[in-house]
């Protein structure tokens, strides 16, 4: 059982809050290693919080596909005598989980000021975004065919996230009648939100027709169903609410957290493309926070594909199972709609920093620093990470105050 906030035994002054947020430039930022982007993100997050870098006593690092962000970041930053240091990997769920573990460390007294950082630099000049993320089948230029069970998958073209997520989406479409117009509605709504985000890589409005005119990647996915690929780094500083209250920004309290990793076999998985682990991590995190779904004012969902948003909306309960398509096509998630969803444009339009994309936007929104895209009210945010192929889920509940 997840403890509710009322049952948490931690002294309220030690409960965790996010006190700093650091973002580097995002997108085709060339000539920088992921390690140097991570270093800059941590420095910016500490400065944003109003902390000296030397006050950081915990560091959790995480990598994207390009690697290179490791424990050596401690020395790059000149951090001495850390009380907590590790590298984590939960793919798209990592950011939420990093904040969870950092919060647990702060609440237990294991560390006082924990920096959590993600950085990646897969883009290179002359290489497409798709190439940056494609996984080889093992054949390569030496012409020896891929072997064994993995080789059979590669031989059939079952490889890479585009194909795997498209298989999941197709199953949802066949089961519930979800349409390509529904997927388009997600892309169009998020681009409209991105227009208000100066950090977004793509801010020009798009229409359903633009979506339909974009080329097929892995049908039913078109190009505008797929996230961007970005170079960049994002860091947050987690500390105690008491300490955060004395720093530069109003604290963003970490009220609830939960993970779910269903682990169902690829052998037979009745939930594949139908229900994800968010259906469990969501209620658990809300219960810990002592709030209900109706209390949530800002929603930042992981959006590696349009479909991921749609199925996550159902799993969190913002609409009924199978009705995600109708929900997004109603305009409910576009600016001016009933649900303030992916308010910075998300990974589809703003920047692809894995779970740091929804987390960073939630911090900006709860602080009220969203400028043209600021949601009102914005005191309670739900943040969802999703990793693997709908395999790993981490949910956070963040708030401007404690209930």
Partner 1 sequence: MTAVAGPGPVARNEDSAAFFDGTAAGRFLLRRCRPAGHWNRPQAVRCAQCDSPDLRPEPAAGTGRLVSWVVVHPRPGADDPPPPAVPAIVELDEGPWWWTMMVGADPAGLRAGLPVQVVFERPEGSEAVPVWTPVRGQPPT
What is the set of active-site residues? 302, 352
Q: Which of 75, 265, 294, 336 binds partner 1 (CB under 8 A)?
A: 265
Q: Of the ranges 45-53, 106-114, 166-174, 324-332, which one interacts with partner 1 (CB under 8 A)?
A: 166-174
List all residues 6 or more positions away from 307 whose beta carbon is below 8 Å from its beta carbon. 165, 168, 169, 172, 183, 186, 221, 225
Would you count residue 248 as binding partner 1 (CB under 8 A)?
A: no
Q: Which of 217, 290, 321, 388 binds partner 1 (CB under 8 A)?
A: 217
Which of 214/330 has CB closer to partner 1? 214
CB of 131 to partner 1, least distance (A): 10
CB of 322 to partner 1, least distance (A): 14
Which of 226/288 has CB closer to partner 1? 226
**How many degrees, rounded to 5, is the angle at CA 392 between CA 386 and CA 393?**
55
CB of 306 to partner 1, least distance (A): 15
CB of 130 to partner 1, least distance (A): 8
Which two structure tokens, joined as six digits, stand for 60? 């959790």
Would you count residue 75 as binding partner 1 (CB under 8 A)?
A: no
Which of 269/330 has CB closer to partner 1? 269
Would you count residue 171 as binding partner 1 (CB under 8 A)?
A: yes
CB of 163 to partner 1, least distance (A): 5
Smallest CA-to-CA distance from 178 within 278, 312, 349, 328 is with 328
Would you count residue 155 as binding partner 1 (CB under 8 A)?
A: yes
User: Around Cβ 211, how many Cβ atoms within 10 Å?
Assistant: 22
Q: Which of 22, 64, 137, 325 binds partner 1 (CB under 8 A)?
A: 137
Residues 293 and 364: their CA atoms lie apart, in Å, by: 20
**How many degrees, rounded to 5, is the angle at CA 303 between CA 300 and CA 304?**
150
Smallest CA-to-CA distance from 329 within 337, 51, 40 is with 337
Q: Of the ranges 41-49, 205-213, 216-224, 304-312, which one interacts with partner 1 (CB under 8 A)?
A: 216-224
Which of 158/208 has CB closer to partner 1? 158
Q: Of the ranges 148-156, 301-309, 325-333, 362-370, which one interacts with partner 1 (CB under 8 A)?
A: 148-156
Would you count residue 141 as binding partner 1 (CB under 8 A)?
A: no
Residues 260 and 258: their CA atoms lie apart, in Å, by: 7
Q: Which of 1, 80, 126, 144 binds partner 1 (CB under 8 A)?
A: 144
Would you count residue 163 as binding partner 1 (CB under 8 A)?
A: yes
Cβ–Cβ < 8 Å for 375, 297: yes
Q: For residue 7, what is the DSSP state?
A: G
CA distances from 235 to 8, 24, 65, 149, 200 (A): 27, 9, 17, 39, 17
Would you count residue 229 as binding partner 1 (CB under 8 A)?
A: no
Would you count residue 213 as binding partner 1 (CB under 8 A)?
A: no
Residues 387 and 31: their CA atoms lie apart, in Å, by: 28
Would you count residue 177 as binding partner 1 (CB under 8 A)?
A: no
CB of 324 to partner 1, least distance (A): 17
Q: Which of 20, 64, 273, 344 binds partner 1 (CB under 8 A)?
A: 273
Residue 351, classed as helix, strand or coil, is coil
Q: Of the ranges 263-271, 319-327, 384-392, 394-402, which one interacts with partner 1 (CB under 8 A)?
A: 263-271
Sign of CA dihedral 98, 23, 73, 131: positive
Smallest CA-to-CA distance from 332 within 206, 320, 366, 175 is with 320
Beta strand 392-399 pairing with 380-387 = antiparallel
Which of 175/212 has CB closer to partner 1? 175
CA distances from 102 to 15, 21, 125, 284, 318 (A): 11, 14, 36, 18, 28
Which two structure tokens, joined as six digits, stand for 305? 């594909």
CB of 100 to partner 1, least distance (A): 31
Instruction: Give the residues lining the site for partner 1 (CB under 8 A).
Output: 137, 139, 144-149, 151-158, 162-163, 166-168, 170-171, 174-175, 215-220, 265-269, 272-273
């Amino acid at each position: 059982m997840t403890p509710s906030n009322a049952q948490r035994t931690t002294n309220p002054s030690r409960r965790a809050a996010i006190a700093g947020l650091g973002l580097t430039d995002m997108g085709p930022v060339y000539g920088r290693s992921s390690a140097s982007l991570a270093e800059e993100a941590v420095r910016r997050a500490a400065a944003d919080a109003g902390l000296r870098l030397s006050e950081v006593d915990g560091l959790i690092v995480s990598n994207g596909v390009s690697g290179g962000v490791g424990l050596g970041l401690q020395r790059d930053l000149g951090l001495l005598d850390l009380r907590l240091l590790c590298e984590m990997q939960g793919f798209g769920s990592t950011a939420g989980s990093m904040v969870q573990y950092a919060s647990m460390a702060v609440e237990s007294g294991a560390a006082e000021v924990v920096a959590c950082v993600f950085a990646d630099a897969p883009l290179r000049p002359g290489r497409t975004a798709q190439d940056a993320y494609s996984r080889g089948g093992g054949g390569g230029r030496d012409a020896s065919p891929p072997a064994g069970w993995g080789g059979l998958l590669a031989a059939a073209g079952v490889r890479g996230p585009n194909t795997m997520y498209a298989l999941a989406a197709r199953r949802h479409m066949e089961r519930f009648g979800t349409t390509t117009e529904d997927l388009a509605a997600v892309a169009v709504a998020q681009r409209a939100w991105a227009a208000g985000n100066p950090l977004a890589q793509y801010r020009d409005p798009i229409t359903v027709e633009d979506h339909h005119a974009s080329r097929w990647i892995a049908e039913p996915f078109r190009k505008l169903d797929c996230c961007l690929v970005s170079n960049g780094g994002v860091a947050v500083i987690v500390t105690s609410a008491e300490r955060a209250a004395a720093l530069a920004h109003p604290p963003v309290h970490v009220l609830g957290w939960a993970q779910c990793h269903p682990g169902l076999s690829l052998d037979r998985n009745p939930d594949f493309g139908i229900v994800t682990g968010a259906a469990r991590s969501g209620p658990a995190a809300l219960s810990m926070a002592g709030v209900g779904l109706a209390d949530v004012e800002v929603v930042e969902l992981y959006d590696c594909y349009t479909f991921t948003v749609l199925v996550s909306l159902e799993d969190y309960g913002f609409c009924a199972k199978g009705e995600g398509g109708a929900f997004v096509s109603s305009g409910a998630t576009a600016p001016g709609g009933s649900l303030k969803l992916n308010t910075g444009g998300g990974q589809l339009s703003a920047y692809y920093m894995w779970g740091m994309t929804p987390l960073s936007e939630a911090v900006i929104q709860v602080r009220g620093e969203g400028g043209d895209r600021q949601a009102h009210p914005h005191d309670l945010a739900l943040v969802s990470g999703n990793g693997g192929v709908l395999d790993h889920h981490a949910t956070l509940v963040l708030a401007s105050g404690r209930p």
